[in-house]
Each structure stands twice: as structure tokens, then as C-alpha cells.
Structure 1
Amino acid sequence: MSSTSSPSDAAAAATQKLQDVVKDKLPNLPESKAELKAEAKAAASGGLAQLRSFAAGGFGGVCAVVVGHPFDLVKVRLQTAEKGVYSSAIDVVRKSVAKDGLKRGLYAGVSAPLVGVTPMFAVSFWGYDLGKSIVRSTSTVAPDGNLSIAQISAAGFFSAIPMTAITAPFERVKVILQVQGQKTLAPGEKPKYSGGMDVVRQLYKEGGVRSVFRGSAATLARDGPGSAAYFAAYEYIKRKLTPIDPVTGEASGKISLTAITCAGAAAGVAMWIPVFPIDTVKSRLQTAEGNVTIGGVVKGLYSKGGYKAFFPGFGPALARAVPANAATFLGVELAHQAMNKVFN
């Protein structure tokens, strides 16, 4: 004779299963004072790590601007100038220096990125660190704790989301000032904008906050995949250049600053290659007068020069990517090392 379970047994089993499911979904509550202290220490450590990433990213960004702004200026002027104004990147440099001198000619519009770059890069590296935490909590991580390149890429994409809120308005101000510098003024005529704050004031007066943040969607469309490629390439090359123990096959010793510089330079190139056409559209959108749309900018560019119209300034962008991003990651690593010496 076969045995059958009673209704009370079935109810008990169902209740236990429900309790197990709920227990898995609820956060683990500390059961002792020691466990509570351990969890508090872990939370504080994680918060401190993100704060350090924020500070290191800001310092790395300043390094990037100092090294890379002249290259960026050339790129933007090639992207936004009418056909025939400049014959090459060298022609941009020659005409800019001849008109405004070395300092003003090559560093026009530098105030906006210098003011904005610290929070911009700080938020980027903070967002990247936060993105890695999210990836670790939502996906399977290797036993050694290292994220895969795909997971690094996902964390990099996430970093662009909070960064866009800062990047879009500052880049709008930057490109407007850079383009203003290439216009020929009539005798006695003054530039439309006297500086970064004046640009913001006039943009807000003309179209409110929406005008100041014009190009935000294009900025995110550029920085999302760009940041994914950026951090993935950096981590991949960094791992390849890290010394490996021939016996265990595991990383042994610290990576050199030279290797970090090379990895940062390569990361910058990897970032620009897939998203440069989007950057051209963004620059045109942010410097155009009146009401314009992304679709209108794309159509206008293509009608003037086909696919090639989306790549003016590609050479200067890649030329800038090498030293600027090498300086960025070198600055970030040096900042981390300095903070480790002070706080550890």
C-alpha cells in the first residue's frame, strides 16, 4: 500500500519553500555585534574606494586637458568649418597661431573643460567603479574575482550615464568657444561670447536649460559605447602587459608606469574609432544656431560629402587620444598610489 502525504505536510512544505525564497531575496542581517562591525567596515571601505576613484579620475582629467586640448581644438574646427576653410590639421594650427598666438590660438575654449573636466572624469571613474560593483552583484564572477572583458565593457558603458549630465553642457560651451575663435571679425567687432559663463548665460536666455543641454542624447550615444570600448581596451592591454609567473601562470609583480601609459594610449584610440561619426554629429548639433535636430544634422552632413563628411578631424582625434589618454590613466594611477601612501 503506497503512502500519501497529508494536507498539513503539503502546507508545511509549501511554507518552508516560501520562507527559503524570501530568505534568499532579503539582505543578510547581522546576528552579532562583531558581524555588524564587519559589515560596517566593509561598507565604509567600499565607499572610500569609490571616493578615491572619484578623486583620481578628476586628477587624470586635468592631465588629459593640459595635454590634449590643442588636438581637440583642431578636431572641432575641422568638424565644424565650412569646406575649404582649412586644408589640413596643420593648416588649422598655422592659422590659429598666426591669428591669436600660441597660447590663445591652441587653448581657445580651455576654461570650460578645465572647470568641467575634474567632475567629468571624476564622475566617469566613480561611475566605472560603481558599474563594476553592479556587475559583480548581478552576474557570475570568476573565482579569482577578476571581471571578464565583457563585464568590464558593461561597467564602462554604465560610467557614461551619470557623466553625460556634466559632459553635455560643458562640451557645448567648449565647442562654441572653439568655433568662435575661427571666425574673422570685422574691424571693431567683438566676439559674441566673452567666456564660458557668458556662453551659458546667453544660451539660457535664448532657450533655457534645454538650450544649455543641447546634444545630451548625442553625447550619451557617443560616450556609452565609447566608454565601453575605452575601459575594456585599457583593462585588456593592462592584463597583457602585467608580468606573469611562468610556473603558476598568474600575475606576479606590479605593472610598470610605462605599461600603464601604453595601455591608456591604446584605450583612447579604441574609444574614438567606433564613435567618431557620432562625435561629428554632436559637434555640429552643439554649434548650430537656431532649432536643429540630430536627423537634420545627419542629413545635412551626408548631402554635403557622403560618408566622408562624418570623419573630418579623425586624424587629430586619434593623435590627441594617444597622449591625452596616456596622461589620463597615468594621472589616475599616480593619484591612487599617492592616496595609498597617505591613507593606508
Structure 2
Amino acid sequence: MPPQSIDPAKIDFRLYYFWGTILNVPPILLMYPMRTVRLLQQRKSAIPVSSSIFRVMKDVQQKNGFRSLFAGATIFSAGLTATKILQFATYDYTVQITKENDFFGVDAFRNPSVLSGTLGTFSAVITTFFVVPFDMVSQQITLAKAGGPGNIVAASPASVSATVPAAVSVAAPTKAAVAVATATATATVTASKIPIYVAGSLEPLQPPAPLPIKESLKLQFKQEGFRFLFRGTCATLMSTIPFFAAYFPAYEISRVWVVDGINYVRARQVAQSGTTNPFPPPELHQFIISSVAGCMASLAGVIISSPSDMVKTRIQTEQRLQPTNGSGVKLPMPSLKWMDVFMEILRKEGFSKFFAGTKARAILAVPGGALNFVIFDFVRSISKKEPTPLPLTVNAKEALY
């Protein structure tokens, strides 16, 4: 979000938000496969997912088709575009009100970095409640269509057994032995899809049939009610706040560096060659400032918010259906509290897991951050109202003849 507030007397808001909406959709759709890869790398899976973006995309395309890389894109792009417009409007309005009220007597707000960081985070928090339902549903659609069982490249193919014995024989099976055999068999079946038998059981263990996404969403909504659409709101806030707290100040700081860099390059050219038109020309300055500073701002936000984003993804992609045991008895559902999920990831998968999908997220967010500023700076320029000509006085009229 550009740090300058918008003067409604100079901006045609109908054009501003119309073109802001139109121009934001293509970048979202173009970069959407990176979001698919990030979700697949962050989700809870019995089979480790490759950290290679290319391998994950290639496997999804081969086994589920190219279109599956864009599963959930329609609802996500609609929600994100509307949210961006709402966020920029909230930011512009709060900046203007703050300046009109002389920064409410808070001297810290006179610092552009503090003001943009505070109000940018505030606008992001306000719009979070709007985007969560779109994010929640689109993520489950993406994983259902692009990340079916066995359809993702394993990080360690050698660790997954390629062959399965026809039967598991135990001379004196105990409960512990049967449990271990069952767990091993289930994991192997998930990878190989080969039916096997476990000692003490006459029924082959087959991987459960995947639930169609429409049926899954319907059952979860029925089970959780309207709260289902807002699952992960707290986790989204925990991810949004550190992202934008770093994003806007980083933009302000980077913008100063870029301006200094442009001035330095131009001054060197004038000193060395005496040119009167040094590069870059003035008409490119705003584009360079917006794109470079936007990239730096997004990168800072991604790094700072990666652990919280991982927890958010786990909470929102959990297919929270009531589990039952073999006798049909309902079992306790896993906790989706932020701290419980955080500690579960830390204990079972280690701290490094919090940064799974960070590369894909950075590839998605860094050019996206640059485009945010470039697009809205451009939209701002084409939405400026023509100055209203002042009525001519008698002397002025005479001067025209």
C-alpha cells in the first residue's frame, strides 16, 4: 500500500477501485500454482512431500492434470481481490483521518514507517474477517483436487516400501504387535495401494476411499455449523499481524534506499559523462521504487510470518470429520487450538517444519508485493480527476481576445 493518503478531491474512486480489481486478478491466477505447492508442502501428510517446487508441480500435473494446479483459484481470487480493495480503502481512510486529526497527538505517528506499519496492520486485521471464509474453502478444494493420497512426490522415495508381503504372520500375536503391524500396513498401503492382511484379521486393509470435496465440505459444515467458514480466524490474525507489521515499515525503509540509489546512479552519470538525461528517466522512477521496495517488503513479511502461516494452514486444511474406531465408537477430534497445533508440529516434525513451503510462498508473495504497489500506483495515476477550471473573470475573458 503506498504510504501517501488519497485525496478524494483528486481521485475518482469508481475508476480507482474498478481498475484495481481488474488488474489484480491476472497476477493472482498466474501465480496460483505456487500457492498449491505451498499448501501441499505444509499440510499434514503421512508421506513426506518433496521440498522441490518443480517436482511437486510436475507430479501434480502428471497424476491430477494441469487444471488441478489451479483448483480453488476462482473462489480464492474473488476473495483476495475484494479483500485487497477493502484493505487499501481502509488504509487510505485511516491515514487521511489520522492526518486530519494531527496524528491524534501521538508523535510516533509522524514517522512514516511507524504510521504505515500501524495503520497497514490495522487495515489487514480488519479485512482478515472477510477473507477467512474464501481462504478456508479454497484451501480444502486445492488439497482435495491436487493432493489426493499417493499423488505427491515423497521427500525420501527409498523410505517408502515398494513391495508388500502377502501376509504378516506372527506366531503369538499380542495387542502391541497387531497395532504395530496395522500401523505399518496402513502406511504402506497408503503409498502402494496394495491390499494386505494382518495377523489376527481376516479382512484386508484397504486405504479409505477419498471423500468428494463437495461431500466433505457439506459434512464439515453440518458438523461445525457456520463456524466452519471462520475456522482459523485467530490463526490467520497470528499470521497477518507479523506479516504486515514487517511489510509496511520494510517498504518505507526500502523506498528510501531505492530513491537514494536512483539519485546516486544519476549523479554518477552526470559527473562522468556530463549527460543531461541520465538513466533511469524520471518517468520510470515510481515504477522502480514500487517494484523493488515492494519485493523487499514482501520478503521481510514472508520470513517473519512463516511459522504462523504454517500453523494456519494446518488448522484450515484439517478435514475435521468425527473419527471412529473399528467398532464405530466416536473418538475425540484433534485439537485445532493455535498453541496445540504449534506444539504438535514442534514435537513431531521439528522447528524446521515451520518453514516448509516458504520458498513457494516467497515466489508467490515477492512479485505479488511488487505488483501490489505498481498496480495501485498506476491505478492512482489513471484515476486522477481533471482539475475543474475556475470561472473566468471579465478581465480574463478579455485577455483571451
Counterpart residue identity of residue 176, structure 1: Q
Counterpart pick for 1:62 among 25, 28, 31: 25
Q: C-alpha displacement at 1:117, in angstroms? A: 1.7
Structure with more helix by fraction: 1
Partner of 1:327: 371
Assess if the C-alpha contact under 8 Å between 2:33 and 2:69 holds in 1: yes
Counterpart-to-counterpart distance in 2, 1:238 and 1:192: 48
Partner of 1:73: 36
Structure 1 residues 321-330 or 151-160, which shifts more?
321-330
Partner of 1:339: 383
Assess if the C-alpha contact under 8 Å between 1:200 and 1:212 holds in 2: no
Partner of 1:105: 68
Counterpart pick for 1:266 among 292, 296, 299: 296
Instruction: Pick closer, same or farther for the CA change 1:332–1:60 going to 2, 3 Å.
Output: farther
Counterpart pick for 1:126 among 78, 85, 89: 89
Partner of 1:182: 147
Gaps of 5+ in 1: 1-42
Counterpart-to-counterpart distance in 1, 2:58 and 2:349: 25
Counterpart-to-counterpart distance in 2, 1:208 and 1:46: 45
Instruction: Pick closer, same or farther for the CA change 1:336–1:121 going to 2, 3 Å.
Output: same
Counterpart-to-counterpart distance in 1, 2:311 and 2:9: 38
Whether 2:227 is the aligned partner of 1:210: answer yes
Q: C-alpha displacement at 1:76, in angstroms? A: 1.0
Q: Deviations over 1:102-135 (max 9, x none)?
A: 3x13212111212212211111211221232344
Counterpart residue identity of residue 356, structure 2: P
SS of match in other structure, 1:241: helix
Whether 2:91 is the aligned partner of 1:91: answer no
Counterpart residue identity of residue 224, structure 1: I
Assess if the C-alpha contact under 8 Å between 1:57 and 1:126 holds in 2: no
Q: Deviations over 1:29-73 (max 9, x none)?
A: xxxxxxxxxxxxxx9936967766655653464244123211111
Counterpart pick for 1:149 among 104, 113, 117: 113
Counterpart-to-counterpart distance in 2, 1:154 and 1:125: 14
Q: C-alpha displacement at 1:191, in angstroms? A: 5.3
Counterpart-to-counterpart distance in 2, 1:59 and 1:224: 27
Assess if the C-alpha contact under 8 Å between 1:153 and 1:228 holds in 2: yes
SS of match in other structure, 1:256: helix
Partner of 1:286: 316
Counterpart-to-counterpart distance in 2, 1:108 and 1:64: 16
Summarize the alignment of residues 115-264 of structure 1 with structure 2, pairs less than 5 Å apart. Answer: 115-136=78-99, 137=101, 138-139=103-104, 147-180=111-144, 181-184=146-149, 192-194=212-214, 202-242=219-259, 255-264=285-294
Q: C-alpha displacement at 1:84, in angstroms? A: 3.6
Q: C-alpha displacement at 1:98, in angstroms? A: 0.6
Assess if the C-alpha contact under 8 Å between 1:63 and 1:324 holds in 2: no
Counterpart residue identity of residue 123, structure 2: S
Q: C-alpha displacement at 1:300, in angstroms? A: 1.5
Instruction: Pick closer, same or farther for the CA change 1:100–1:213 going to 2, 3 Å.
Output: same
Q: Deviations over 1:181-216 (max 9, x none)?
A: 2113999x675225xxx8765543231221110001
Instruction: Pick closer, same or farther for the CA change 1:328–1:100 going to 2, 3 Å.
Output: farther
Bigger radius of gyration among the two: 2
Counterpart-to-counterpart distance in 1, 2:386 and 2:139: 38
Summarize the alignment of residues 24-43 of structure 1 with structure 2, pairs less than 5 Å apart. Answer: none
TM-score, length basis structure 1: 0.73
Counterpart residue identity of residue 178, structure 1: T
SS of match in other structure, 2:8: helix
How large is the Cα RMSD of the aligned pairs? 3.5
Assess if the C-alpha contact under 8 Å between 2:11 and 2:380 holds in 1: no
Whether 2:331 is the aligned partner of 1:311: answer no
4+ aligned runs moved over 4 Å, structure 1 = 46-57, 139-142, 198-203, 243-247, 341-344
Counterpart-to-counterpart distance in 2, 1:154 and 1:135: 11
Counterpart-to-counterpart distance in 2, 1:119 and 1:302: 35
Counterpart-to-counterpart distance in 2, 1:203 and 1:46: 48
Counterpart residue identity of residue 256, structure 1: Q
Counterpart residue identity of residue 76, structure 2: P
Instruction: Pick closer, same or farther for the CA change 1:301–1:202 going to 2, 3 Å.
Output: same
Assess if the C-alpha contact under 8 Å between 1:76 and 1:283 holds in 2: yes
SS of match in other structure, 2:31: helix
Instruction: Pick closer, same or farther for the CA change 1:253–1:110 going to 2, 3 Å.
Output: same
Q: What is the aligned length?
A: 292
Instruction: Pick closer, same or farther for the CA change 1:44–1:276 going to 2, 3 Å.
Output: closer
Instruction: Pick closer, same or farther for the CA change 1:183–1:342 going to 2, 3 Å.
Output: farther
Gaps of 5+ in 2: 1-5, 151-192, 194-206, 268-280, 321-332, 389-401
Counterpart residue identity of residue 382, structure 2: A
Structure 1 residues 133-142 or 167-176, which shifts more?
133-142
Identity within the alignment, %: 24
Assess if the C-alpha contact under 8 Å between 1:60 and 1:330 holds in 2: no
Instruction: Pick closer, same or farther for the CA change 1:182–1:265 going to 2, 3 Å.
Output: same
